[in-house]
Amino acid sequence: MTLRILGIETSCDETAAAVVENGTTILSNVVASQADLHAQYGGVFPELASRMHVEAIIPTVDQALAGAHVDWDDLDAIAITYGPGLPGSLLVGLNYAKGAALAKGLPLVPVNHLEGHFYAHWLHTGAEGSANGSLRFPLLVLIVSGGHTELILAHDHGQYERLGGTLDDAAGEAFDKVARLLKLGYPGGPAIELAARNGEPTAFDLPRAWLPGSYDFSFSGLKTAVLRILQKYTGPVPRSFYPNMAASFQAAVVDVLVEKTARAAEEFGVNAILLSGGVSANTSLREAARAGVPLPVYTLQKILCTDNAAMIAAAGYYRYQAGDRADWDLDIDPGLQLA
């Protein structure tokens, strides 16, 4: 039986809609980005983000349906992100999805945004390094983005164990803040990666917060160390400083992410590691993970690393199959956890 799920994602600053068939085949995947708008603030401006979602949600869904060559009558359900994320942004997507589901007589399937990042790996893309359906539990998932740094052990579909997470800044948040300190632009991840190509990763001896005995992360001290070094310059900063600092900072983040992921993979005997979230698009992280872990390490196309609705539709398919349906009193949960 063919099941077509419309996924809707508005947890942060991307208005996204997609149609996915049987949890694996992307029929359309539309993302209306607000990155240029928020660049002037050096980060996401929450109130502005929610207002832009209001303007973009209807045309984005219309474009997703047209791109998939389907009508509302061809859909089996609507999958919607209800958390975690920015409250105002989540509300726009959830209220639209409720209205559409009621008007069209479609089931509404609630999806955890973090679970969406996990299920992006079930989408068949044919891209190099992707799993393309060849996944066997248990799996270890590293979710690294602007709002999250989570290490999750997946025992089976819907059965998760949170091994650790960030105690302060998420990895992507640290990239954004350091990029702002170095005046490299926004979003910080791609800006730092680009600058780091011309830098030396050992130029600065930056700290690594290993937090022995846990799988938790901390990047606040690393960000502060960059600031303290920058403050030592009373005159003009040498041109070589910026690429060297970008490379050194990137190496410090990657070292901790890979080391902890490798240790967890060995301890829990997983079959593969899945890299998810916006920061997982970082080339250095991908290369270091593959070099440092004696297991398959699966990555995603960059459009599936960042927030998108195809991953929500994929997760929604498995939730739908499990019988999950939302009542009309479903509310947002900005602090929602995966496990």
User: Is 151 a domain residue?
Assistant: yes
Does 52 fall in a domain? yes
* The pLDDT value given to residue 41: 77
Tell me whether residue 281 is in a domain: yes
Stated pTM of the model: 0.95
Residue 329 resides in a domain: no
Determine, yes or no, domain membership for 339: no
User: Does residue 130 lie within any of the structural domains?
Assistant: no
H, E, C per residue of 204-224: CCCCCCCCCCCCCECCHHHHH
CATH code of the domain covering residue 231: 3.30.420.40
52-56, long-range: CB within 8 Å, 24+ apart, which pairs?
52/13, 52/15, 53/10, 53/15, 53/88, 53/89, 53/92, 53/93, 54/92, 56/15, 56/32
DSSP string, 20-72: EETTTEEEEEEEEE-HHHHGGGTS--HHHHHHHHHHHHHHHHHHHHHHHT--G
Backbone φ, ψ for residue 329 (5° rounding): -90, 10
**What is residue 234's predicted lDDT score, i.e. its pLDDT?**
85
User: Both 217 and 100 in a single domain?
Assistant: no
| 85 and 222 together in one domain | no
Residues 145 and 239 occupy one common structural domain = yes
282 plus 310 within the same structural domain:
no
Please report whether residue 338 resides in a domain: no
168 and 108 assigned to the same domain? no
What is residue 46's predicted lDDT score, i.e. its pLDDT? 87
Q: Total structural domains in the chain? A: 2
Give 157-182 pLDDT, tens digit per residue: 999 999 999 999 999 999 999 999 99
Domain that holds residue 226: 139-300
Residue 132 lies in a domain: no
Same domain assignment for residues 270 and 315 = no
pLDDT digits (tens, 9 = 90+) for 45-89: 888 899 999 999 999 999 999 999 999 999 999 999 999 999 999
Q: pLDDT below 50 — which residues of the chain?
A: none
